[in-house]
Each structure stands twice: as C-alpha cells, then as structure tokens.
C-alpha cells in the first residue's frame, strides 16, 4: 500500500514539475525537464548563469531494471548500462529533432554515485560529464528531504538497491555537459 502511494506521489510530482517523456521505447530509463539554472556553473567549457535554461535528466523509475534481491550482478549492471547509454542516445536524437528546445546544458542530480571516484562516477566521466557537489537551495534541511525522497523512491521502485544506499549516507552530486557536446557525443552512438 505504501509503495503504491509513493509511486502515485512520484507521478504527481513529475507531472507538476514538467518532467516529460522524450522516448516511448520501453528500454528508455530517462525522462527530462527543462528548468532554469539555480547557480553559476563554470566547468570544462560549460558557462551557465542562474536563470539559463538547462535540461535536467530524471530516472524513469518504472523502467529501471530491477536489481536482483541478492544484489547487483554483472548481468544487471550490463543491462542497466546499455539502457542508460541508449537513453542518452535517444535524448540526443530528440534534441536534434527539436531545435526549439534551447538549453545550454544537459544535467542530472543524483545520489547514486559520489564525487570521490566510485565506479559510477568514473563511468559518467568517461561519457563526458563533469561533476559538482549538489547544494540544495534550502541547505542541509533541503538536502535531508531530497535524500529522504530519493530513499523512498529506491524502496518503492527497486528495493534491493537500498542496501548500497543508506539514507544518512546519501551524497547528491550534479553532472553536467554542454548541450552541443552532448548531442555530438551521443547522436550517432
């Protein structure tokens, strides 16, 4: 019952915050949201001022491969990676086909990897993303609620993944890539 309530709440939040589906492929595990940047970004060719339009990536929880109850294995990791890269490729195609979407960068905020070099962050860097620590506009209070929400989403959609993500150990990071660079890297796979 609580899982259904969390899933319904997530659908409502997604709808209210303008998160949209850019591909109907069942293997697509990302959705997107056009939003104004909240702070200055100055990384590897990315220069963004507060108020600039950016495209935020969001996991499409209903499409994520279920982690085995025994924990992550090579088959699950490979399938998730293929779905993720394929989703980035579909997003690059979508941006190419919709030039009216004028954003300066593609970004994501995640508690799934850290800045200090875990394997997920290394893979994202190999794809071309740059990283920053995430700071909630509401400070530590906001970070707690963002992490609690993320933890409940893990519990509702992919319970086995919670084992490696403790509520009070979650550290949110931002990953960024300039829009044209994103399209160049992922348009033709």
Exposure string over 137-148, b if 16+ CB within 10 A, otherwise e = eeeeeebeebbe
| Dihedral of the alpha carbons of 101, 113, 78, 180, in degrees to the nearest 10 | 30
Mean pLDDT of the chain: 83
User: 83 to each of 64, 79, 88, 125, 158, how far by Cα in Å?
Assistant: 8, 6, 9, 17, 16
Percent of all residues in the chain with a pLDDT value above 90, rounded to a whole number: 41
Residue 167 pLDDT? 53
Q: What is the set of domains in the chain, with CATH numbers? A: 2-186 (3.40.630)
Predicted confidence (pLDDT) per residue in 103-147, tens digit: 999 999 876 665 566 666 778 888 888 887 767 676 777 777 777
Distance CA 142, CA 137 (A): 7
Q: What is the mean pLDDT of residues 97-107?
A: 94
Beta strand ranges found along the chain (DSSP E): 30-36, 41-43, 46-48, 53-59, 105-110, 130-133, 173-178
Say whether 171 sits in a helix, a strand or coil.
coil
**Six-digit token string for 3:** 């899982």
Average pLDDT score over residue span 79-98? 95
pLDDT tens for each residue of 50-62: 999 999 999 898 8
Give the pLDDT confidence score for residue 153 in this predicted structure: 73
List the structure tokens of 184.
């160049």
- pLDDT tens sequence across 5-17: 888 888 898 899 9
Exposed, middle or buried by CB within 10 Å (0-12, 13-18, 19+), for 189? exposed
User: Chain-centre distance of CA 163, in angstroms?
Assistant: 20
For residue 99, pLDDT beyond 70: yes
Residue 162 pLDDT greater than 70, yes or no: no
Q: Is the model more confident about 62 or about 169?
A: 62
Q: What pLDDT is attached to residue 115?
A: 57
């Amino acid at each position: 019952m609580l899982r259904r309530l969390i899933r319904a709440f997530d659908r409502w939040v997604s709808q209210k915050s303008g998160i949209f589906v850019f591909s109907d492929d069942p293997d697509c595990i990302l959705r997107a949201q056009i939003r104004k940047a909240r702070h200055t970004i100055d990384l590897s060719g990315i220069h963004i001022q507060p108020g600039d339009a950016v495209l935020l990536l969001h996991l499409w929880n209903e499409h994520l491969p279920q982690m085995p109850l025994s924990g992550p294995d090579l088959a699950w990791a490979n399938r998730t990676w293929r779905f993720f890269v394929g989703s980035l490729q579909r997003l690059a195609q979508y941006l190419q086909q919709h030039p009216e979407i004028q954003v300066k960068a593609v970004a994501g905020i995640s508690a799934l990897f850290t800045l200090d070099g875990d394997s997920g962050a290394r893979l994202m860097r190999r794809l071309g993303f740059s990283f920053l620590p995430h700071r909630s506009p509401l400070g530590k209070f906001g970070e707690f609620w963002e992490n609690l929400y993320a933890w409940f989403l893990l519990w509702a959609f992919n319970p086995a993944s919670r084992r490696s993500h403790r509520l009070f150990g979650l550290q949110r990071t931002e990953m960024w890539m300039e829009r044209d660079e994103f399209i160049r890297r992922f348009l033709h796979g």
